[in-house]
Homo-oligomer: A and B are copies of this chain.
Amino acid sequence: MNGLFRALGVDAKALPRTRPLYRRIVTLLEGGIARGAVPAGQQLPPERDLAAAMKISRATVVSAYRELEARGLVRGYVGRGTFVSAKPDAASAPFAWRGKIAAAALQASDATTVRDLVRAAADPNLISVAAGVPALDCFPTDAFQRAMNHVLATQGDAAWRHGPTEGLPSFRAALAHRFGGEPEHILVLAGAQQGLDLLARCLIDPGDAVIIDRPGYLGAIQTFRNAGARLVGWDVTRADTDELEELLLRYRPKLIYTNPTHHNPTGVTLPIRTRRELLDLAARYRVPIVEDDTYRDLALTGPPTPPSLFALDDAHAVVIRLNSFAKMLAPGLRVGWISAVRPIVDQLALIKQQVDPHTQNLSQLVLCELVEQGVLDRHLATLKVEHRRRRDAMAQALRQHVPAAQLRFSVPDGGMYLWCELPPAIRARAVQDHARRESVMVLTGDPFYVDQGGDHQLRICYTSQPAARAVQIAQTLARSLTAAAREAADPPAAVRMV
């Protein structure tokens, strides 16, 4: 006790009696801690003892210790006492902000992949085939502008006021009419990613298992992982439903997430027989399916696209379907929707209401016009021609400029991606690094895997660049593959020394 007063340089009995007294004690101790006279780890005298020594009430000492604790300078441990925990921050930085961040936010994976993708897609100095972007130069800007002007002239009042959380009735009706389902089974979203977040909040408790395509959409992997789910991969290219049943038995998952049509990243489309088996399993094991249906209308060639799981599910209502205008029109629009049974739409709307009371009305009204007037369908027909041209140009350029042994891929029937296999000796990250140095941005396979995987795979979004650029991209990739192969055979000194 006397040591403490010596360290503080005061005489306990001669303390100035300024009020409130506890503030005086706080100031005194704060100063001593700041100067280091009372070092971190030192135990402070028990409240009762300090009160007796200073001839003040114990309550005053309790108040002082509490304030010091509130300031993060001391910490009390039940049964052990109060200890100095840290020096006060410099006045210019009152907050160690990191100390304020919630545990869940700190634990969340930092999601740099998606941010990098989005940043690269917006960087005019990069030729990006990384992010999933349709042919934006085909965007029906004139029709959009006409629809916008019409909406502003006739429905401005509906655009500016609050809208219902579920979405505007006219838009929900137009979506149901064009894409199937009932208007009241639709929840309009600010993009499909918002839908994933709402679904995770609605359905996932930490520790729940989720079965997800392997490889599968990286945004879904990230969202479910950050919600605390244990992710279990189902090999979507083999599409073995016996394997799925084993996973259902073994992991008892909360939901299955799959993208069965023009799959991202592999391009596969599950045949109707597999779809029916999937639905049977979901119904039998009572596990809902979240069907990512965002690529459905991007078929290019091949047989007619089989119906969605949602459409095949009339008897069971086990499917929650996720859609978006990002791939059909433009990712910058940020409009999507969920189709599901009423109990799920209602619960999701309750959550959405708290995070984003409703999706922007103006976008809903304009998209409603574009859907109803057939602009969307005419645009999809245009996209089909242009995307096919881009796919074929990219496939041909890669075949011509890259040795087949270094890059294997199948030409998909639809969607937006070439999923490319590298030889085991070449690391995808090395190829990505080399290509980026030449201002071409490709995506490695690893973020599409819930476990180890993808180190020797690349995803190329062939729709995002004009066909005229295919050769430049292929040549860059060829140089990058060669460089990466050379590096693997003859690693830099730092690697060899290990």
Binding site for B on A (CB under 8 A): 63, 66-67, 69-72, 89, 91-95, 97-98, 100-105, 108, 110-111, 114-115, 117-119, 121-122, 131, 133, 136-137, 139, 141, 144-145, 148-149, 152, 156-165, 190-191, 193-194, 197, 201-205, 208, 222-223, 226, 248-250, 252, 254-255, 282-286, 288, 315-318, 329-334, 341, 343-344, 347, 349-351, 353-363
Contacts and interface: CB of A to CB of B under 8 A. Distances in A.
A318 B95 contact: yes
A121 B161 contact: yes
B332 A285 contact: no
Given A144-B152, A161-B330, 17 more contacts: A66-B252, A71-B285, A93-B317, A97-B347, A100-B288, A108-B350, A111-B354, A114-B353, A114-B357, A131-B162, A148-B152, A160-B331, A160-B333, A193-B356, A333-B362, A334-B356, A356-B356
A165 B97 contact: no
Contacts of A104: 201, 205
A355 B357 contact: no
A108 B161 contact: no
A329 B159 CA distance: 12
8 closest A-B pairs by beta carbon, nearest first, are A160-B330, A97-B343, A332-B361, A197-B355, A118-B162, A121-B162, A334-B360, A94-B283
Given A148-B152, A201-B104, A203-B102, A194 B355 contact: yes
Nearest to A133: B161
A73 to B, nearest CB: 10
Contacts of A362: 332-333, 363
B191 A162 contact: no
A246 B213 CA distance: 54
Most buried by B among A136, A316, A356, A359: A356
A273 to B, nearest CB: 20
Contacts of A92: 315
A269 B282 CA distance: 57
A341 B349 CA distance: 32
Given A145-B149, A343-B98, A249 B333 contact: no
A341 B97 contact: yes
Contacts of A67: 249, 285
A98 B251 CA distance: 20
A343 to B, nearest CB: 4
A67 B161 CA distance: 51
B202 A286 contact: no
Given A103-B205, A145-B152, A202-B101, A72 B286 contact: yes
A133 B161 CA distance: 7
Contacts of A193: 354-357
A136 B148 contact: no
B162 A203 contact: no
Contacts of A353: 111, 114-115, 118
A334 B162 CA distance: 9
A349 B353 CA distance: 20
A132 to B, nearest CB: 9
Contacts of A252: 66, 69-70
A354 B226 contact: yes
Contacts of A108: 350-351, 354
Contacts of A284: 71
A257 to B, nearest CB: 14
Contacts of A254: 100
A70 B285 CA distance: 6
A278 to B, nearest CB: 14
Contacts of A197: 354-356
A250 to B, nearest CB: 8
Nearest to A141: B156
A317 B94 contact: yes
A144 B356 CA distance: 23
B357 A191 contact: yes
A357 B114 CA distance: 8
Contacts of A136: 157, 160-161
B190 A332 contact: no
A333 to B, nearest CB: 7
Nearest to A242: B20
Contacts of A201: 102, 104-105
Nearest to A365: B332
Contacts of A141: 152, 156
Contacts of A158: 332
